[in-house]
C-alpha cells in the first residue's frame, strides 16, 4: 500500500532532516535517532524511520543499500557513487567523473525504462590498509556481492 504524501511539517521531521545536513558519514537509522534524540528526548525510533521515508519520497535524501549492515541515509542527492571499506565499514562518496562512463542506452533500446543506477566499490580504505598487518577487522567482514 502506498504511503500517503506528507502534509504537515513537524519538529520531528525538521530535526531528522537537520541531523543529516552536511553529514558525509552515511549513518544508519539508529545513529540518526541517536542524534535527534539529543534534541527531542521523546522522539521514537519509529518516527525517525517514518520521517526518513518521507524525506526519501520527497527526494531530499537518499537511501543507500551498500552491504548487509542495513540501510544508510545520504543527504547528498546529486549523482555520485560510493566506496565501502570492508574492514572498518566506512563509506566514502566517490565522484569519478571521467573515470566512469556508463551508457545505458542499450537498455532503452531493449525497452527498459531506466530511472536510476548506482555504482558501489568495495575494498579497503587507506587507513585500514595502513594498519592491515597489525590489527583485526573493525567489524565482521562483509560477505559480499
Partner DNA sequence: TTGCTTGCAAATTTTTTGCAAAAAC
Partner DNA sequence: GTTTTTGCAAAAAATTTGCAAGCAA
List residues binding a second copy (CB under 8 A). 1-2, 53, 56-57, 62-68, 71, 83, 86, 94, 96, 99-107, 110-126, 129, 140-141, 143-145
Closest approach of a second copy to the CB of residue 27, in Å = 15
Closest approach of a second copy to the CB of residue 43, in Å = 21
Comparison of 83 and 89: residue with beta carbon closer to DNA: 89
What does the alpha-carbon distance between residue 131 and residue 88 come to, in Å, rounded to a whole number? 11
Cβ–Cβ < 8 Å for 109, 102:
no
What does the alpha-carbon distance between residue 32 and residue 70 come to, in Å, rounded to a whole number? 14
What does the alpha-carbon distance between residue 16 and residue 32 come to, in Å, rounded to a whole number? 7
Comparison of 44 and 79: residue with beta carbon closer to DNA: 44
Amino acid at each position: 500500500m502506498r504511503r500517503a504524501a506528507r502534509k504537515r511539517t513537524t519538529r520531528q521531521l525538521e530535526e531528522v532532516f537537520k541531523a543529516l545536513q552536511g553529514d558525509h558519514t552515511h549513518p544508519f537509522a539508529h545513529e540518526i535517532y541517536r542524534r535527534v534524540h539529543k534534541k527531542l528526548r521523546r522522539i521514537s525510533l519509529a518516527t525517525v524511520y517514518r520521517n526518513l521515508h518521507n524525506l526519501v519520497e520527497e527526494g531530499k535524501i537518499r537511501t543507500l543499500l551498500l552491504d548487509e549492515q542495513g540501510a544508510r541515509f545520504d543527504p547528498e542527492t546529486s549523482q555520485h557513487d560510493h566506496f565501502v571499506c570492508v574492514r572498518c565499514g566506512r563509506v566514502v562518496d566517490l565522484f569519478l567523473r571521467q573515470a566512469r562512463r556508463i551508457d545505458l542506452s542499450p537498455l532503452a533500446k531493449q525497452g527498459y525504462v531506466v530511472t536510476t543506477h548506482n555504482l558501489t566499490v568495495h575494498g579497503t580504505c587507506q587507513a585500514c590498509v595502513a594498519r592491515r598487518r597489525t590489527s583485526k577487522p573493525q567489524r565482521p567482514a562483509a560477505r559480499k556481492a
